[in-house]
Amino acid sequence: MRYIALLLTCLLAIPSVAGAGELFRWKDENGRVHYGDAPPKKIKNVERKNLVSSMETSAELPYATQRAQRNFPVSLYVSDSCVDTCNQARNLLRKRGIPFSEKSINTKEEFDTLMAASGKSGLPTLMVGKTYVVGFLEASWNDELNVAGYPKTASYRQRTAPPPKRAISAETQSKEPDDGDGFAQSD
């Protein structure tokens, strides 16, 4: 009965937190994690979470992806020194259409915290729900994502960045008039 009351309390609190659009996470001096809409002023290491953007994007996802995201959220841990392998990891997640948060590990403290949580050291690290997969091996990452219920390919149209404007040489510009959109007109 206590669990039901706790669950109902949590469900009632969600709309008020979601309406705020921001959520803060911090640790107190005893190491306990707290969440709230405003952190205490004396706390220095505060993470800001934006709830609005994640809710907007999840509404556009297929039901199976939404369900997997709710039950097994995906986080990708990378660093500035991890370039090629981390790009391969990102591309795998994007190709499968998996919504994920990316966390950059740049300090020794952050790396030690990740290592303590995952049990191993290495980047990139994939976290699916509460399971960590350290190091990029496409087969093992796909296996973990399949078990979590994520689709094998993106079954929806992903938003993409607009194509870059075409570079026009000075010689071409002098021959063909520009109508103001950055492209020379052609017949």
What pLDDT does 42 receive?
78
* In contact, 95 and 154? CB cutoff 8 Å: yes
What pLDDT does 97 receive?
92
Q: In which residue ranges of the chain is CATH 3.40.30.10 found?
A: 60-157
184 CB burial (10 A radius; 0-12, 13-18, 19+):
middle
Pick from 90, 83, 118, 123: which is nearest to 105 by CA?
123
Mean pLDDT, all residues of the chain: 76
Comparing 25 with 49, the larger pLDDT belongs to 25
> Tens digit of pLDDT for each residue in 15-40?
444 444 467 777 888 888 777 777 77
What pLDDT does 66 receive?
92
- Looking at the DSSP assignment, which residues form a beta bridge with residue 183? none
pTM: 0.55
CA atoms of 101 and 109, how far apart (whole Å): 20
Who contacts 92 (Cβ-Cβ below 8 Å, separation ≥6)?
Answer: 136, 138, 141, 142
CA atoms of 89 and 104, how far apart (whole Å): 14
Does the structure show a pLDDT above 90 at 99?
yes
Pick 60-157's CATH classification: 3.40.30.10, 1.20.1250.20, 3.30.565.10, 3.10.105.10.
Answer: 3.40.30.10
What pLDDT does 47 receive?
74
> Tens digit of pLDDT for each residue in 131-179?
999 999 999 999 999 999 999 988 665 554 444 444 444 444 444 444 4
98 CB burial (10 A radius; 0-12, 13-18, 19+):
buried
